Amino acid sequence: MGREIDESWIDDAIQRFKRFDQQRDQYERAVATHLVSVHSADDTIEIVVTAAGDITDVHLRGSLHHRNPVDFARELKEVITSAAEAARWAREKLHGEVFGKLPSLEEDI
């Protein structure tokens, strides 16, 4: 016994896939180009990171010769950790902007 093929369902599925593919491309471009800037508590270190988590720039303000290397390393690590968190936040925000609220599986039933 043969199965009946629903051509309109197949066409709709193809269109949904194409829309999703376009949204995914838009999201990936946005994540790669959206920049977030994070500063140390004393504003002497600035890390610029993409939403993808790539560090694109580091700015140091003021003189470094008077700084304790251990304290400077700790502060730098804190700013890098904050930059990673900011990148994650930016990805989530961009995801919501590009894809919107995705329907739950229960809504499709």
What CATH number is attached to the domain comprising 49? 3.30.1310.10
pLDDT tens-digit map of 36-79: 999 999 999 999 999 999 999 999 998 888 889 999 999 999 99
Look at the alpha carbons of 82, 27, 21, 19 in this order and tell me if their dihedral is positive or negative: positive
Does the residue 73 lie in any domain? yes
Residue 6 within any structural domain of the chain: no
pTM check: above 0.85: no
The pLDDT confidence band at residue 106, using thresholds 50, 70 and 90, is: low
Higher pLDDT, 100 or 11: 11
Percent of residues in the chain assigned helix, strand, coil, to nearest 5: 55, 15, 30
Q: Is residue 108 part of a domain?
A: no
Confidence band for 83, pLDDT divided at 50, 70 and 90: very high
Report the chain's mean pLDDT, rounded to a whole number.
Answer: 87
> Can you say whether the dihedral through the CA atoms of 55, 57, 61, 67 is positive or negative?
positive
CA gap 13, 40 in Å, rounded: 49
